[in-house]
Amino acid sequence: MCTGGTIGFLVGYGLRKIAGIMLKVAAVAVALFTIPLMALSSLGVVQVDFAALTRLLEKLFTRLAEFAISLSPSMMRMFPASGGFALGLVAGVMK
């Protein structure tokens, strides 16, 4: 567990730092896109089909969930060899 745990900890810590920055950037990007779109929609300049947008997002998240579920059997096969890495990764993300 020493090497795998150490590498997992470093990856988890870096992932946490990068994910925090990426989430902030994504939130700003979504806001910069959504606010003007809704303002133009309320002024009648643009007509937005929010039902179609909702269906599109539901399809996207359904596909992402199916992809994550399809990965779980292969991840479980590798778990005995990567247990130390996984524990280090969780510790790094929680730090």
DSSP line for 15-55: HHHHHHHHHHHHHHHHHHHHHHHHHHHHHTSS---HHHHHH
The tens digit of pLDDT for each residue in 35-68 reads 998 899 899 998 888 899 899 989 999 998 888 7
Residue 1, pLDDT > 60, answer no
User: What pLDDT shows up at residue 56?
Assistant: 93
Cβ atoms 15, 92 nearer than 8 A? yes
What pLDDT score was predicted for residue 27? 92
Q: What is the pLDDT of residue 31?
A: 92
CA angle 66, 67, 71 (to 5 degrees): 115
- Measure the CA dihedral 9/11/17/23, to 10°: -130
Closest listed residue to residue 88, CA positions, set 13, 8, 10: 8
pLDDT at 23 over 80: yes
Provide mean pLDDT across the span 21-37.
91
- Mean of the per-residue pLDDT values for the chain? 84
Q: Is the pLDDT of residue 86 over 90?
A: no
Residue for token pair 């007509």:
47
